């Protein structure tokens, strides 16, 4: 199920281009167009879910699939051993700019804390 106006649904549906690096029946991963690290991928479910705030028992297993795919991609990108960051933003005050559940995979450099 996709949302016709959603940027990430358009990438998943190939209506707009994206640098897709991974695809499974329920997940698509692509390069962020404004990377914050040498490796910066976005992992999104193929089903339109507005954000982590909309995860419920019906679709909760998908979060585990996103993390598992992120671990796999971290290995493929050569950042699994040195370390990486996974980020999920929720709603406007949490920094979410696209209303589609997505996981940021960042790595390839030392991450500062707090982020900034």
Q: Which of 48, 100, 102, 104 is catalytic?
A: 102
pTM for this prediction: 0.93
40 noted as active-site residue: no
Per-residue pLDDT tens over the stretch 21-37: 999 999 999 999 999 99
User: Could you tell me the CA-to-CA distances from 89 to 22, 36, 44 in Å, in that order?
Assistant: 21, 15, 13
Tell me: the pLDDT tens digits for 46-97?
A: 999 999 999 999 999 999 999 999 999 999 999 999 999 999 999 999 999 9
**What is the structure's pLDDT at 113?**
84
Architecture of domain 7-107: 2-Layer Sandwich (3.30)
What pLDDT, on a 0 to 100 scale, did the predictor assign at position 107?
97
């Amino acid at each position: 199920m996709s949302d016709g106006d959603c940027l990430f649904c358009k990438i998943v549906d190939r209506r707009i281009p994206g640098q897709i690096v991974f695809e499974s029946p329920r997940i698509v991963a692509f390069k962020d167009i404004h990377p914050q690290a040498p490796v910066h991928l976005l992992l999104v479910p193929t089903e339109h879910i507005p954000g982590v705030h909309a995860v419920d028992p019906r679709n909760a297993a998908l979060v585990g699939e996103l993390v598992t795919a992120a671990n796999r991609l971290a290995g493929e990108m050569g950042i699994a051993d040195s370390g990486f960051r996974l980020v999920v933003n929720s709603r406007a005050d949490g920094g979410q700019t696209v209303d589609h559940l997505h996981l940021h995979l960042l790595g390839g450099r030392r991450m500062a804390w707090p982020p900034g």
